[in-house]
Amino acid sequence: MSKLGNLKIIEYENDKGSENLNPAAENEGRTIAKAAFYVYRTLGAGLDLDIYKQCFHEELKNRGVTVSSNVPVSIQFRNKIIDPAIYIDFLVEGEIAVFVEAEPKTPSHKMKLGSALRLSGKTEALLLNFHAEDPKHLIMRATTRPDQAATNKDAANSLLN
């Protein structure tokens, strides 16, 4: 787990854990995690990023989730609007930003997730890396919610049950 100010980033270790999260966020997070694991288990690792994005989008829709894709986010920099500054791969239920990768894990993934979360103004974000050789490394979560910030990996894992 990394801390950047009030930002906390948690890497999931397994699919079991405690019930420390708000029920609405927990439910949405579980649905996203289950959809991601389904895509991963069905397709495996090593495919092109666009394939994972298309299949993940379809799986979210099949699960009845309201999802938008390629959501542009503007930022203000030195009194100038930069439009768009970043794109959120998927915005789930208008609240949770989801970013998808299919490349070897690097420290820049944590930085990207943290910066994108901060710039987007959202309080929850997930990074799904379908390049993971082991599904326990598929999901990384970031939050800026003090009441939602998991203090250990067991609390973060509650999203995956």
Give pTM, 2 decimals: 0.77
Residue 103 domain boundaries: 2-160
Structural domains in the chain (count): 1
CA 145 to chain centre: 15
- Tens of pLDDT, residues 14-50: 443 333 445 565 688 899 999 999 999 999 988 999 9
